[in-house]
Amino acid sequence: MSRHTSLRTCFLAYPFDRDVRLLRQALEELGIEVREGSTEPGSLPVADAVQRRIAESDITIAVLGGRAQDTSVMYELGVARGLGKPTLVVTLGRTTVPAALNGLRILPLTSRSEKTIRSALARALNVAVQPPQNPSPGEPSSRSLGPAADTYLARLRRMEKSPAASSELGVVRLLASALAETGAVVELNAGHRRGADLAVWLPDLESTVGNPLLVEVKWRVALKSAAFEQMRIYMSDAGVRWGLLVLGRSQPTIRLQARVQRNGILVAQLRDLLSELRTSNLGQVVARLRNSAVHSAQR
């Protein structure tokens, strides 16, 4: 059993009608002891026993996605938040996250592969245990690409010269590699499930757009209203408030700015994004995009 995270114990809250065996197995493979609410008779009332188990666990993972909302999951999540414990909300399948949970760390899981689930959990948990509210002054969690940005830009130019021979997945992989090199945790959706191309976790994003940031790449198609509606659906499914549309080629977006601000969707050209990452870290780039969006919406 290998350890991919500093966490040792986890309180798992889940609806009674959901099969969480793959999730539990993935956690155990990561070296995390899984604890649940006790149904065994004891000296403590059930509520007190649950609170003690949550308090003694390193993190609480709340699973959403049952046929009916399980109030005990929301209760246990509330207890964990009240105790100041790290939390992670996991959604299974197409699950709408309640508005009350907006701003919490959300991990959408649609895969039935234990390996994929384990990988996604390892990355999300490593971000979840880092306190974003107390970063060391002058020590961001991400870094700029520096000279490596030129390598990515050169690869992009080759793709632009032969767009027909360059798949959108190839462009997505290029962006994923660049973002990972900045220190971000990047989960790639290779088209096996409905959702955005990338989910990006980074402590630096907590104060601006939250985690994860969903990223969708539009390589060949023209940017139209349908792209924003699709992104809005992805964001709603994952329970996140901000998303990023990355355009592979220069496209006019001014007429769509009002829609961008209303839906919390940021837009950036891939070439511009890579160029900015030469001297700025990802947290700074996203913060500038968000600030620009907010100020535009106020005018």
pLDDT at 282 over 80: yes
Which strands make up the sheet holding 106-109, listed edge to edge?
33-35, 9-13, 59-64, 87-92, 106-109
pLDDT at 138 over 50: no
How does pLDDT run across 4-52, given as a tens digit for each residue? 557 889 999 998 878 888 889 889 988 899 998 765 556 678 888 889 9
Q: CB count, 10 Å around CB of 159?
A: 19
For the chain, list the domains and their CATH numbers.
9-128 (3.40.50.450), 148-298 (3.40.91.70)
| Among the listed residues 179, 175, 182, the one whose alpha carbon sits nearest the alpha carbon of residue 143 | 182
Q: What is the arithmetic mean of pLDDT over 121-139?
A: 56
Q: What is the Cα–Cα distance from 253 to 212, expressed in whole angstroms? A: 24
Alpha-carbon dihedral sign for residues 204, 256, 230, 170: negative
| Among the listed residues 254, 262, 256, the one whose alpha carbon sits nearest the alpha carbon of residue 232 | 262
How does pLDDT run across 166-200, given as a tens digit for each residue? 677 888 888 988 998 888 877 777 555 678 888 88
| Among the listed residues 250, 189, 236, the one whose alpha carbon sits nearest the alpha carbon of residue 216 | 189
Give DSSP secondary structure letters for 177-206. Answer: HHHHHTT-EEEE--SSSSS-SEEEE-GGGT
Peptide bond into 135 cis (omega under 30): no
